[in-house]
Amino acid sequence: MSTLVAAHTPRRTLRRLLLSAGVLGGLALTALPIASAQAATLTATTPCGTTALSQPFLPKDTGYYWLVPGGNFEGSLTGWTLSGGAARVAGSEPYAATGSLGSWSLNLPAGASVQTPFVCVDGADTYFRFFALNKAASSTITVSVVYTVAGLQLTFPVGTVSGDSTWTAPAAMHTGGKIASKLSATGTAQMALRFTATGGASQVDDIFVDPRLKH
């Protein structure tokens, strides 16, 4: 798609294009346990810059991922949007997916939501994964991607996580970055991830994006 068309693409057309990439799923995903990660690390340069990659979801998922800024909740939450009582709490996923065992995670009471900072993604940033803990049998987490494209901000639900009473890692979800990045003259787009607790309280931790560079 040309730069001119992308710059003037209406909201409905953007929505249809991202839908065609499978962004709007509404899929109910069951969280699966993983073993303690022994993550290799490397760096990679993409249109969004140089980033550190690791393998946080070993052994079954050998993909390389980058951590969303602040996505381990161990430091500042600058750029994050918390609502409905969402707050950082003591206790982390137990697998040391970031390379060391953390001390914090993000608690979401029923109805609460958290949105990550906007981050640069390109056509290779296809999937994302995270850790979840549901505190009641009725707890689920609705997950959405939010894009700023051609001056418009669009939100798309991509799945509903039916979790477990222990920390687990849901299956990878689509970002829609391949389509969104094509609607920009730079080949990149600005994406945020939003997590909303429904039915009961939940926790999330260690949010990663998969650039699909090393599979």
pLDDT band at 4 (very low <50, low <70, confident <90, very high): very low
Query: How many Å apart are CA 128 and CA 29, to the nearest integer?
Result: 13
Provide the mean pLDDT of the chain: 83
**CATH 2.60.120.260 for domain 3-49+56-210:** yes
Q: Tell me the sheet residues that pair with 32.
A: 169
pTM higher than the cut 0.75: yes
Q: Residue 47: what pLDDT?
A: 84
Query: How many Å apart are CA 172 and CA 170, to the nearest integer?
Result: 6
Peptide bond into 59 cis (omega under 30): yes
Q: Which 8-state DSSP code applies to residue 170?
A: P
pLDDT digits (tens, 9 = 90+) for 130-172: 999 998 888 999 999 999 877 788 898 999 998 678 999 999 9
pLDDT band at 9 (very low <50, low <70, confident <90, very high): very low
- Cα–Cα distances (Å) from 23 to 18, 62, 155, 195, in that order, read 6, 23, 10, 15
The H-or-E segment that residue 133 falls in is strand 127-134
> What is the dihedral sign for C-alpha 166, 172, 175, 176?
negative
Secondary structure of the chain: what % helix, strand, coil (to 5)? 10, 45, 45
pLDDT band at 44 (very low <50, low <70, confident <90, very high): confident
Q: Hey, what are 157's tokens?
A: 């639900």
Of 31, 146, 43, nearest to 93 by C-alpha is 31
